[in-house]
Structure 1
Amino acid sequence: MATPFWVLFWAACLLSFLSPARPDLASDRAALLTFRSAVGRSALSWNSSTLTCSLQGVVCEAGRVALLRLPGVGLIGTIPNGILGNLTALRTLSLRFNALSGAIPSDLSTLPQLRNIYLQGNRFSGEIPTFLFSISNLVRLNLARNNFSGGISPDFNKLTRLGTLYLEQNRLSGEIPDLVLPNLVQFNVSFNRLNGSVPEKLRDKPAEAFLGMSLCGGPLTPCPGETSPSSEGTGEGTGASGDGKKNHKLSGGAIAGIAIGAVAGFLILLLLIILLCRRKSSKAGTAEVAAKPPEVEVALRDKGIVDGETGNGVATHPTPAPVPATAKGGHAKKLLFFGRGPRTFELEDLLRASAEVLGKGTFGTAYKAVLEMGTVVAVKRLRDVSLPEREFREKIEAVGAMDHPNLVPLRAYYYSNDEKLIVYDYIPMGSLSALLHGNRGSGRTPLDWETRSAIALAAARGIEYIHSTGPSASHGNIKSSNILLAKSHEARVSDHGLAHLVGPSSTPNRVAGYRAPEVTDPRKVSQKADVYSFGVLLLELLTGKAPAQALLNEEGVDLPRWVQSVVREEWTSEVFDMELLRYQTVEEDMVQLLQLAIDCAAQYPDKRPTMSEVVIRIEEIRKSSLRALDQDQLDHPQSIDDPDDQSSRRTDSAPSIS
């Protein structure tokens, strides 16, 4: 007797219900919590009430954990098997710059979608595991700076999609196998224990990929019996010879014909250029007679100081008559000055001044203007300002009312529909960015600890003052190019308050290295976000690295995370700029300032100190270091600024940061 269809249908449903559940977000969460218990109990502050996809370092796609990124967070120990293999939708695993040890868990081979593995900067050991060669979709593999030993297996050729392979700074030995990886772009095996010759398929890689070992061939020195690449392809057949090869030299008549043609072509081109120049000058004269535009933009363009028209950075100035700027309705527009200081010049004087482009910044282009009476000012031509005049006046006058020795004074401003100018005192020594990163060659004067700590304190005091003017008052754009230096290297903060005047398009990606992670609108920056930016600035002072320089690989590591990862490995001395390593007597103070910088750049705003607390801590550090330097001068009459004394005073280790 046949079984009724409805019985079969419900039986199938019951079996489906009773069968083991398919992997889901709940199983992903269980795997993550087990992972935390194994290697991240003290490092990961995952809260039991936080949603799985909101956990630190976790990114979900289509309701599953797709990316696990925990670089430099302090993971320590060995990852057991049977944990990460449960994240069956995982595509990217990044555990770089931690203290993980032992073997890489083999259950990674069970992840069908795994594309990217970043494990550099840990303590993994043993041979490179063979299960990696079965992850057929692997695109990026970074195992650099670990303790892997043994050889490089030719089974890497099974990873046909591999585009990145970094194995440098391990203990790998033997020869490099013939790797035939059609998509391989990034490759490095330097500073291992390899020997032999560079395989043919890898000889297009740069020499930096094979440094620090007994290798030859390719981009390195030729192996015994090989000829250098420069000598290949040279020899006979390039000219007349007595062995039957044709002589390809041109005859005298052909050369004469080419010369005559070239001269004729040049004369025709010259005639065309002359005609075009005459036509342009005729049109320009007609336009000038027709009307003289009244706006400041035209006056600036006539003087050659509009963006992009100065060529070599210094404006050209004919001797134009003053161009009065008038607003609609015929009312004259004037420079509006703030309360402090004499009003020694007007808009017409500014337009007649010689001008030099200082640089293009986040909010506009800055010019150095030398007035006829000898006064020097800095003029910033703002861009992307859409505020109505009344609102602009309120905001800029609040900025102009700020008066502190560590702020660049704002002297005057100009507003019209087409132009917004602000006039500052000119600060002659340039920016901290130029001082730190400019001229890193042999002729550079080192930037000593006392100067750096003084700059840090002065900048902190300026920002603290801004914050003291109101609970919502902030700078909004703290970075090293906005810290200007007077003749005595006294720091003054510039561009304060301008973030509130311009549109969001005026804040480019280049300031992202300073920007706090919670900031989404650059016009709305909190005081705690300012503290984060100042923390990055302190790290820049101490490390000598600009935030953009800290993007160490294809995923990118910002400067605070890079510093934390190095400090956790107890390599604190490697963080500091080489110019600071000779100041052994203030080593503890340098570490204290580093700790303050890390505190300021904390991921969560409520964990950051206030600027008032920052100032107090820098003052204490400065007092301590000045006492130490004074005592050292008594103990060692030879100045610690003597470059010849560097080797004896350089430190190879530094106190650890708690």
Structure 2
Amino acid sequence: METKSLLLFHLLLLLISLPYSKPDLSADRSALLSLRSAVHGRTLLWNVSLLNPCSWTGVICEQNRVTVLRLPGFALTGEIPSGVFSNLTELRTLSLRLNALTGNLPQDLANCKSLRNLYLQGNLFSGEIPDFLFSLKDLVRLNLGENNFTGEMSSGFDNFTRLRTLFLEDNSLSGPLPDLKLEKLKQFNVSNNLLNGSIPDRFKGFGPSSFGGTSLCGKPLANCDGSSGSIVVPSKPNGVGEGKKKKLSGGAIAGIVIGSIVGLLLIALILMFLCRKNSSSKSRSIDIASIKQQEMEIQGEKPIVEAETGGGYGNGYSVASAAAAAMVGNGKGGDLNSGGAKKLVFFGKASRVFDLEDLLRASAEVLGKGTFGTAYKAVLEMGTVVAVKRLKDVTISEGEFREKIEIVGAMDHENLVPLRAYYYSRDEKLLVYDYMSMGSLSALLHGNRGAGRTPLNWEIRSGIALAAARGIEYLHSQGPNVSHGNIKSSNILLTHSYDARVSDFGLAHLVGPPSTPNRVAGYRAPEVTDPRKVSQKADVYSFGVLVLELLTGKAPTHALLNEEGVDLPRWVQSIVREEWTSEVFDLELLRYQNIEEEMVQLLQLGIDCAAQYPDNRPSMSEVTRRIDELCRSSLPEDHNPRPEPINDADDNSSR
């Protein structure tokens, strides 16, 4: 009898303790299976026969608990059932972005007290942002953008004392923007909501795009006083006439009319004079001043990512190409047609179907202003299209220039943009290259990110990395002191079939010190102090940054990086250390399945190349070998590297 009583007592204790038992990996597994059965759409490719869920796609474990769950763009639909997150209590990162999940946020999400990164953008969540969310005080990054959240913004956001990123754009939040403290906040966006009122001082340091599509006012948007800019008569001492618009007298109006007529006559006379002058010099090329003005306009008005892409945004004009006009050299046209050295000098077997006169008659457009000068697209009368680079800051002697440019012209590799010819005079130095129809990698990566954009898939990006590596490896094989010196995405040009070619090689040794110290900002190895003296290991560093740019979709000068005060390699490394590696990849790459391992391997190679110390970086031959192995292992038999257009506006975000 006593034995039975004892057994009943222990059984009772066990039953009482069950609700308070600590969740373990089996409980995490059950929670994941509950989620899988509740959200419809593409089946999660999880091998449910395995008791350990840590090998499932998007699941990462640590110390026998699930700490990361990432299921971005998995076409998940429906509501998340209650009870999933009450077991996943050790989650540090949760990413369900770019799905079609509906309903309110599950209340048991409050049990994930260790959560640091919450990415729910691009879904159909609705209702007010719940108060229980503000109990997650360790959140560092919170993205609830592109949902259907309503109601006012709560002051509860101030509970997030560690928050660095807060994105709430494209919802239906209303009311005023609360005066939150959030001292560590670096990224903020509440655009396209129903918010109104003045912008608190804490948020006035963010750009206008953070508040666009709202009724908010104050810096950085328009003032809140609603002033229209009318001229108002100052208040008189007795108050008479206060606030009334100033009226013009009849004499003033007559003076304005007469002044306008005189001004129009002057403009007409100036136009007639200019037309006559243009007629008398009809056969002359555009002078160097107009070229320099074009360059100033490009540099001053275009974004840097366009100004260095070779994307062909510049103005087209004819009679004489800008490139040929540059050869005039401050109007000294006699240099062009004189004999001897004042000719185009061709290399090797380069086709000599045109000469200097043909180039003079070509139509042209400005492609971009880069590190070593301005590039032009020149279309000759016989239909030949070439790219012409007008060098700047050339300080070496003519003999030394010709000696070095001959070495550049002798470079022959399928992954280099071949130098076909050059022109040298005292005032102008021009290089003639094959024209690359698709422009630069920089333009393709960072150009139009809107709906309908053609994405760069994994095959194309890895192929570009391999081709560029082969081109640079060839350069390094020409001697231990031969380097490129200016590797960056705007110097990787593409053909229509997305074959990559490395350009601008060998030019770093032709020009003087940079006029602007940051002209290759983000790519230059830390040990490089003189851009004319770049080692092969410094080239490897620049190539590593290029690889990271390919994978992340972020330029080294990206605003996000500037705000955080880090360069691209350190930003990537910080994310990898936090164990949310997939968050570093461009969203366009996350659309493709079963390549995660290859992407991570290439990411690690980029990090290795961008090591702080030169001795820790691999050689370009080793880099090429590793990328080649990656490409071979990820290449399906029926692969199609051609990209397909994206119509999903959700992929506009770089987050």
2:275 is aligned with 1:263: no
- The unaligned stretches of length 5 or more in structure 1 are 1-100, 102-122, 126-142, 155-164, 192-196, 221-228, 293-297, 634-638, 653-658
User: Which amino acid letter does the alignment assign opposite residue 446 of structure 2?
Assistant: H
User: Which amino acid letter does the alignment assign opposite residue 260 of structure 2?
Assistant: F
Instruction: Look up the match of 2:294.
Output: 308
Q: Partners in 1 of 2:292 and 2:216 — Cα distance?
A: 50
Aligned 8 A contact 2:509 2:532 in 1: yes
Deviations 1:118-138 (A, max 9, x none): xxxxx999xxxxxxxxxxxxx
Secondary structure of the structure 1 residue equivalent to 2:364: strand
Instruction: Look up the match of 1:604.
Output: 613
Q: How many residues align structurally?
A: 451
2:266 is aligned with 1:272: yes
Q: Partners in 2 of 1:546 and 1:176 — Cα distance?
A: 33
- The unaligned stretches of length 5 or more in structure 2 are 1-91, 93-113, 117-137, 143-154, 167-176, 190-194, 234-239, 298-312
Deviations 1:15-63 (A, max 9, x none): xxxxxxxxxxxxxxxxxxxxxxxxxxxxxxxxxxxxxxxxxxxxxxxxx
Instruction: Look up the match of 1:168.
Output: 163
2:411 is aligned with 1:402: yes
Instruction: Look up the match of 2:203.
Output: 205
Instruction: Look up the match of 1:89.
Output: none
Aligned 8 A contact 2:158 2:180 in 1: no
Q: Partners in 1 of 2:294 and 2:343 — Cα distance?
A: 26
* Structure 2 counterparts to residues 113-192 of structure 1, below 5 A: 145=140, 167-169=162-164
Instruction: Look up the match of 2:434.
Output: 425
Instruction: Look up the match of 1:326.
Output: 335
Aligned 8 A contact 1:365 1:382 in 2: yes
Aligned 8 A contact 1:177 1:199 in 2: no
2:561 is aligned with 1:563: no
2:375 is aligned with 1:366: yes
Aligned 8 A contact 1:358 1:368 in 2: yes
Secondary structure of the structure 2 residue equivalent to 1:308: helix
For residue 457 of structure 1, the aligned residue among 448, 454, 466 is 466
Deviation at 1:504, TM superposition (A): 1.0
Q: Partners in 2 of 1:518 and 1:494 — Cα distance?
A: 23
Q: Partners in 2 of 1:516 and 1:509 — Cα distance?
A: 12
Q: Partners in 2 of 1:249 and 1:644 — Cα distance?
A: 51
| Compared CA separation, residues 307 and 345, structure 1 to 2 (3 A) | farther
| Compared CA separation, residues 387 and 266, structure 1 to 2 (3 A) | same
Instruction: Look up the match of 1:590.
Output: 599
Q: Partners in 2 of 1:510 and 1:578 — Cα distance?
A: 28
Deviations 1:186-234 (A, max 9, x none): 977979xxxxx9999945734979x99xxx99869xxxxxxxx969899
Instruction: Look up the match of 2:497.
Output: 488
Instruction: Look up the match of 2:484.
Output: 475
Q: Partners in 1 of 2:646 and 2:466 — Cα distance?
A: 26
For residue 549 of structure 1, the aligned residue among 537, 546, 558 is 558
Quote the RMSD (CA, aligned, Å). Answer: 5.0
Instruction: Look up the match of 2:629.
Output: 620
User: Which amino acid letter does the alignment assign opposite residue 341 of structure 1?
Assistant: A
Q: Partners in 1 of 2:542 and 2:392 — Cα distance?
A: 23
Deviation at 1:268, TM superposition (A): 1.6
Instruction: Look up the match of 2:586.
Output: 577
Deviation at 1:536, TM superposition (A): 0.2
Secondary structure of the structure 2 residue equivalent to 1:421: strand
Secondary structure of the structure 2 residue equivalent to 1:492: strand
Deviation at 1:315, TM superposition (A): 4.4
Deviation at 1:302, TM superposition (A): 7.1
Q: Partners in 2 of 1:233 and 1:275 — Cα distance?
A: 40
Secondary structure of the structure 2 residue equivalent to 1:499: coil
Q: Partners in 2 of 1:280 and 1:640 — Cα distance?
A: 50
Aligned 8 A contact 1:464 1:612 in 2: yes
| Compared CA separation, residues 580 and 186, structure 1 to 2 (3 A) | closer
Q: Partners in 2 of 1:170 and 1:480 — Cα distance?
A: 28
Instruction: Look up the match of 1:436.
Output: 445
Instruction: Look up the match of 2:131.
Output: none
Deviation at 1:607, TM superposition (A): 0.5
| Compared CA separation, residues 168 and 488, structure 1 to 2 (3 A) | same
Deviation at 1:273, TM superposition (A): 3.0
Deviation at 1:327, TM superposition (A): 8.3
User: Which amino acid letter does the alignment assign opposite residue 263 of structure 1?
Assistant: V
| Compared CA separation, residues 396 and 512, structure 1 to 2 (3 A) | same
2:498 is aligned with 1:500: no
Q: Partners in 2 of 1:428 and 1:598 — Cα distance?
A: 31
| Compared CA separation, residues 481 and 315, structure 1 to 2 (3 A) | same
- TM-score, normalised with respect to structure 1: 0.58
| Compared CA separation, residues 404 and 506, structure 1 to 2 (3 A) | farther
Instruction: Look up the match of 1:24.
Output: none
Aligned 8 A contact 1:550 1:556 in 2: no
| Compared CA separation, residues 339 and 571, structure 1 to 2 (3 A) | same
User: Which amino acid letter does the alignment assign opposite residue 433 of structure 1?
Assistant: S
Secondary structure of the structure 1 residue equivalent to 2:353: coil
Aligned 8 A contact 1:413 1:420 in 2: yes
User: Which amino acid letter does the alignment assign opposite residue 205 of structure 1?
Assistant: F
Aligned 8 A contact 2:451 2:649 in 1: no
Deviation at 1:442, TM superposition (A): 1.1
Aligned 8 A contact 1:408 1:493 in 2: yes
Aligned 8 A contact 1:168 1:190 in 2: no
Instruction: Look up the match of 2:308.
Output: none
Q: Partners in 1 of 2:562 and 2:272 — Cα distance?
A: 54
Aligned 8 A contact 2:451 2:646 in 1: no
For residue 537 of structure 2, the aligned residue among 528, 531, 537 is 528
Q: Partners in 1 of 2:517 and 2:242 — Cα distance?
A: 61
Aligned 8 A contact 1:544 1:576 in 2: yes
- TM-score, normalised with respect to structure 2: 0.59
Percent identity between matched residues is: 60
| Compared CA separation, residues 177 and 523, structure 1 to 2 (3 A) | closer
Aligned 8 A contact 1:313 1:357 in 2: yes
User: Which amino acid letter does the alignment assign opposite residue 314 of structure 1?
Assistant: N
| Compared CA separation, residues 190 and 331, structure 1 to 2 (3 A) | closer
Q: Partners in 1 of 2:197 and 2:290 — Cα distance?
A: 57
Deviation at 1:554, TM superposition (A): 5.3
Deviation at 1:306, TM superposition (A): 4.7
Deviation at 1:265, TM superposition (A): 1.3
Aligned 8 A contact 1:484 1:493 in 2: yes
Q: Partners in 1 of 2:438 and 2:141 — Cα distance?
A: 44
Instruction: Look up the match of 2:359.
Output: 350
Q: Partners in 1 of 2:630 and 2:187 — Cα distance?
A: 42
Aligned 8 A contact 2:363 2:380 in 1: yes
| Compared CA separation, residues 337 and 571, structure 1 to 2 (3 A) | same
Deviation at 1:316, TM superposition (A): 3.2
Q: Partners in 2 of 1:646 and 1:355 — Cα distance?
A: 35
Secondary structure of the structure 1 residue equivalent to 2:383: coil
Deviation at 1:260, TM superposition (A): 3.1
Q: Partners in 2 of 1:198 and 1:256 — Cα distance?
A: 44
Deviation at 1:356, TM superposition (A): 0.8
Secondary structure of the structure 2 residue equivalent to 1:570: coil
Q: Partners in 2 of 1:328 and 1:346 — Cα distance?
A: 11
Q: Partners in 2 of 1:338 and 1:412 — Cα distance?
A: 6
Aligned 8 A contact 2:549 2:556 in 1: yes
Deviation at 1:145, TM superposition (A): 2.8
Deviation at 1:355, TM superposition (A): 1.1
Instruction: Look up the match of 2:526.
Output: 517
